[in-house]
Amino acid sequence: FKADKEVIDIVLLNSIDCYLNCGIGTENTKEVNISAVNKNTVLNITCASASYMGSYVTFRTVNPEAVMNFSNITLEKSNWTATTWNTYNIEFYTDVNIDNCIINHPVTFCTKAVVSNTNIMGYRDNASHYAVWVCEGADVTFNGGAIIGTRNIKVDDEYSNSGELTKLTVNNTAFVSTDTKPAILVKVPNAEITVNNAS
């Protein structure tokens, strides 16, 4: 994961545990492609510790302008703790494309993301946590798949208060929740929300 290459291609044959908090690649890396031969193959990011700060887990590249592509894989997180709502989340601070995947955890998108044919399984306990957080200034598109959690999507400035335009587009995506909150809760003043054929 620390290869000094412009393009890093990783294909998993078996599930693995991997510590990724320090980022993938180097400052020269422009693209990271991670896939698996079977969608049930798990890439499990481990935390530095089970403590409060150690429970924050991110998928990020060393080069902040690089793009990460995940396909046909299950993403998981270990050593999570629930000292606050956001210690549950896998956080993306790098532009990301996720296709035909399973994410077994709540997730946060803070830059640009396209999520296609992917199920986000946001349940972790009985608390009122959101399956997806969209940061202020992010540009996130969902195409197909499902967002499943106690609550579904929150667009908020908890991660960023840049004041920049936040974009969320949802196309043909299913929402499943047990809470009475709206499927999409928007808490930022400068947001553009588009929903087509959600259920």
Separation between Cα atoms, residue 192 and residue 165, nearest integer Å: 7
What is the pLDDT of the chain when averaged over all its residues?
Answer: 85
Question: Considering only CA atoms, which of 45, 127, 126 is closest in space to residue 91?
Answer: 45
- Tell me the β-bridge partners of 170: 142, 195
Q: What is the pLDDT of residues 103-154, one digit of tens each?
A: 988 899 999 999 999 999 887 655 678 899 999 999 999 999 999 988 899 9
Which residues contact residue 71 at a Cβ distance below 8 angstroms, ignoring those fewer than 6 apart? 33, 34, 35, 98, 99, 100, 101
Which tokens sit at 190? 């400068």
Please return the burial class of 125, using the count of CB atoms within 10 Å of its CB with bins 0-12, 13-18 and 19+.
exposed
Q: What is the pLDDT of residues 168-197, one digit of tens each?
A: 999 999 999 888 888 999 999 899 999 998
Sheet holding 139-143, edge to edge: 7-12, 31-36, 67-71, 95-99, 112-116, 139-143, 166-171, 191-196
Task: Give the global pTM.
Answer: 0.90
